[in-house]
C-alpha cells in the first residue's frame, strides 16, 4: 500500500515516513500544498496523511481540489489540538478521519490501517484467502496456521492483493502501489515477486489472468 504524507515540518514528516515504512507501507512526502496537489493529481495512492497548515497552498484547499476533481483517495487530516473548527472544516471538505497534534505514531498507524481496510470493504484487521491469512496489525502472514516469513516487498504486494481479493489487478497497478515515486516501477519485477510468493504460499495462491493481471480468490467466492 502506498501513502502520501503531506507535512511541512521535515522532522515530523521523516518520523511519520519511517513509522509507516516499518508498518509495511511505501511512502512519498510532500512538503507544501502545491507539491501535494501535484503528487495527488499524478500519482496513485491508497491513502493520504494531510496536515492542514501548509505553505503555498493550505491543506483544506488541496483537499477540496482533490474532491472536486473526483479524487476519492482516503484522507486523514492532522489538526491543531483543541481547534474543533479545523476538524469540522476538514470533514466537510471530504476528509475521512482526523488526528489532533501532537499524536502517538501508533494511533496514526492504527487509524490508517483501519481506513485502508474500510476503503477496500473490509471490517476486520485480518484478511484471508483460503489457507492464507494476513494480520494487518502484526504484519503476520500464515499458511494453514504456520507462520510464513515475507520480505517487505512480498508483504506489500500480498497485502494489496488481499485488500482487493476477487479483483484482477494489472502489473502496472501493482507497481504503482508497491513503490514510492522515486523508485523503479518495472512491471516485469512484479513477476519475480509473484514467483517468490508462490514458492512460499503455494502455486495456486495467486492466479494469473493472462493479458490482464493477478488475483487472489475472495473467501466464499
pLDDT digits (tens, 9 = 90+) for 53-80: 999 999 999 999 999 999 999 999 998 8
Q: What is the pLDDT of residues 127-142, one digit of tens each?
A: 999 999 999 888 999 9
pLDDT exceeds cutoff 70 at 43: yes
Q: What is the pLDDT of residues 118-171, one digit of tens each?
A: 887 776 789 999 999 999 888 999 999 999 999 999 999 999 999 999 999 999
Domain assignment present for residue 220? The answer is no
Number of domains the chain contains: 2
CATH number, position 39: 3.40.50.2300
CA gap 91, 75 in Å, rounded? 10
pLDDT exceeds cutoff 90 at 211: no
CA gap 194, 154 in Å, rounded? 8
**Other Cβ atoms closer than 10 A to 137:** 12
pLDDT band at 195 (very low <50, low <70, confident <90, very high): very high
pLDDT exceeds cutoff 70 at 83: yes
- CA angle, residues 19, 25, 28, in degrees to nearest 5: 85
Residue with cell 496523511: 49
Whether residues 39 and 145 fall in one domain: no
CA gap 121, 54 in Å, rounded? 31
Burial class (CB in 10 A: 0-12, 13-18, 19+), 11: exposed
From 119, 143, 171, give the residue that closes a domain. Answer: 119
Amino acid at each position: 500500500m502506498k501513502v502520501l504524507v503531506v507535512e511541512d515540518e521535515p522532522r515530523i514528516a521523516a518520523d511519520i515516513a519511517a513509522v509507516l515504512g516499518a508498518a509495511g507501507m511505501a511512502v512519498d512526502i510532500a512538503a507544501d500544498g502545491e507539491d501535494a496537489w501535484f503528487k495527488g493529481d499524478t500519482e496513485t495512492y491508497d491513502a493520504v496523511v494531510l496536515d492542514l497548515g501548509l505553505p503555498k497552498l493550505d491543506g483544506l484547499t488541496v483537499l477540496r481540489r482533490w474532491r472536486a476533481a473526483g479524487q476519492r483517495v482516503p484522507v486523514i487530516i492532522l489538526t491543531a489540538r483543541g481547534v474543533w473548527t479545523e476538524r469540522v472544516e476538514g470533514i466537510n471538505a471530504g476528509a475521512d478521519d482526523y488526528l489532533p497534534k501532537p499524536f502517538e505514531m501508533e494511533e496514526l498507524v492504527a487509524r490508517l490501517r483501519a481506513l485502508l481496510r474500510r476503503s477496500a470493504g473490509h471490517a476486520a484487521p485480518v484478511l484471508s484467502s483460503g489457507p492464507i491469512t494476513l494480520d494487518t496489525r502484526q504484519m503476520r502472514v500464515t499458511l494453514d496456521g504456520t507462520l510464513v516469513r515475507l520480505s517487505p516487498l512480498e508483504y506489500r504486494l500480498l497485502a494489496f492483493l488481499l485488500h482487493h481479493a476477487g479483483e484482477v489487478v494489472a502489473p502496472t497497478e501493482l507497481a504503482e502501489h508497491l513503490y514510492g515515486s522515486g523508485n523503479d516501477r518495472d512491471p516485469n519485477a512484479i513477476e519475480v515477486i509473484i514467483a517468490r510468493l508462490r514458492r512460499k504460499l503455494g502455486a495456486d495462491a495467486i492466479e494469473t489472468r493472462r493479458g490482464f493481471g493477478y488475483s487472489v480468490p475472495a473467501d466464499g467466492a
